[in-house]
Amino acid sequence: MTAKIKLDIISDVVCPWCIVGYKHLEAAINELGLQDQVEIEWQPFELNPNMPAEGENLREHSARKYGTTPEGSVRARANIAQQGAEHGFIFDYFEQMKMVNTLDAHVLLEYAKEVGKQTELKLRLFSAFFTEHKDISNREVLTAELIAVGINAAEAISLLDNAAVAEQVRAKEAHWQQLGISGVPTVIFNQSSALTGAHPVEAYKQVLADLVAQR
């Protein structure tokens, strides 16, 4: 049996280009008919590991961190929304939207991987944050999203108070950073090549087609 193509996707659930990039990658996989020939594992990356519990207004955050002007923010949001819509993902930015801490989300995504529901939970969290105006640092929200994808919420949520589990996630993040990854999304193909940023569908198709040809 031919080994599956391993795709490690390093991303954060509050990164808009991460879901755009994934939708492009998903389209590439579907257009090549490789749905049963790839194995996806989501790897943790916190855009803002020091974000306080109360979060930060997204416009203020973008201005502080990136120097984004109000006008630039409007243009960027419109561009992202258009790219999402092209592949069926709805971005619904709103004035009081906050950037939030995502460590708990990454802990739960590691648990979801163990029960075979990592991609389901990742996509659910993207939608909760960008489409449904939900605070995905809130444990009640996280509990509801776990239940929505059929994960034992009580067991998963109990991990959030385990410092050792959080340290394991932070160690994974450090591992990828030590390999030189500083931007997300980054897709690593068969642990041998990588694309950073939300690339067009054709770029992902080219890499995937080359890997298939090498088999």
Instruction: Give the per-residue pLDDT at 215.
Output: 83
Q: What is the pLDDT along the chain (215 residues), one digit of tens a residue?
A: 579 999 999 999 999 999 999 999 999 999 999 999 999 999 999 999 999 999 999 999 999 999 999 999 999 999 999 999 999 999 999 999 999 999 999 999 999 999 999 999 999 999 999 999 999 999 999 999 999 999 999 999 999 999 999 999 999 999 999 999 999 999 999 999 999 999 999 999 999 999 999 98
Polymer length in residues for the chain? 215
- Virtual torsion, Cα 180, 182, 183, 185, nearest 10 deg: 60
| 15 φ/ψ angles, rounded to the nearest 5 degrees | -100, 110
How much of the chain is helix, strand and coil, in % rounded to 5? Answer: 55, 10, 35
Whether the CA torsion 38, 188, 209, 32 is positive or negative: it is positive
The CATH number assigned to the domain with range 5-209 reads: 3.40.30.10
DSSP-assigned letter for residue 131? T
Yes or no: say if 211 and 5 are a contact pair by the CB < 8 Å rule: yes
18: closest CA among 38, 43, 36, 50?
A: 43
Q: Can you give the pTM of this predicted structure?
A: 0.97
